[in-house]
Structure 1
Amino acid sequence: MTGPTRDELVELALELLAHLEADELSLAEVVDRIETVTTDPTLTRDILDTAEMRGIIDREGGRIRHNRGGTFVRFESQVVQKEGEFDCRRCGASITTGHFVQFESGELGPFGSSCIRKVLGRE
């Protein structure tokens, strides 16, 4: 079984960025979210460049402004909980209930209950 392609990872990260709830974040906060998709620094730069080219974000210094083109993730319909043995993609903690975000470009997760809120900008 093969993992997602580079293009699929880019699209998944772009969809995540398009659904962020914060109007403005630091570069470090945005990279923290992208790292839930990939930790490859070259791919992270490509994702940021593509997000800017597509008008999803504007970069100014160390700040990233989100352009409101997307919609927020709807927890009731786009976040699915699954029971099992998982490691959170954000913090690495062992969890038994994984929260997965269902995007058009694919599924992102698992996350613990507090990390899913942080990734989506609700905390």
Structure 2
Amino acid sequence: MTKKINHIGIAVKSLESALPLYRDVMGMAFEGTEEVAEQKVRVAFLAVGESRIELLEPTSEDSPVAKFLEKNGEGVHHLAYQVDNLDAVLADLAAQGVRLIDEKPRRGAHGTRIAFLHPKATGGVLTELCEV
């Protein structure tokens, strides 16, 4: 089912303020930024080995990431696993009774298809599945 860890999402108040640590101090390869309007975030991706760090900056006060920041402050937001057939994986998880946030895939950054599993079903970790 899961192929690898695709990325770790980190909620930040400002991409501009957070990027220097990851790019300049830690030496991660900066892959660019993108706005994901549907999720009300701007994201920046940085490569580290075969995985990536995804910095998430809210673009609206009603963004889920803005609500996360208000409640928890900056920090790890989600863990994303890469899968080959997201539709089949979601159907299998639903059949096993796993609580899903997204029953159907939606568009993610870089043209990926994504879906989230509810943290109550995954030991308190917001889990994203992504099909590249």
Both structures adopt the same fold (TM-score exceeding 0.5): no
Q: Which structure's residues are more often strand, by fraction?
A: 2
Please, what TM-score do these two structures have when normalized by structure 1? 0.26
Which one has the largest radius of gyration?
Answer: 2
Please, what TM-score do these two structures have when normalized by structure 2? 0.25
Q: Which structure's residues are more often helix, by fraction?
A: 1
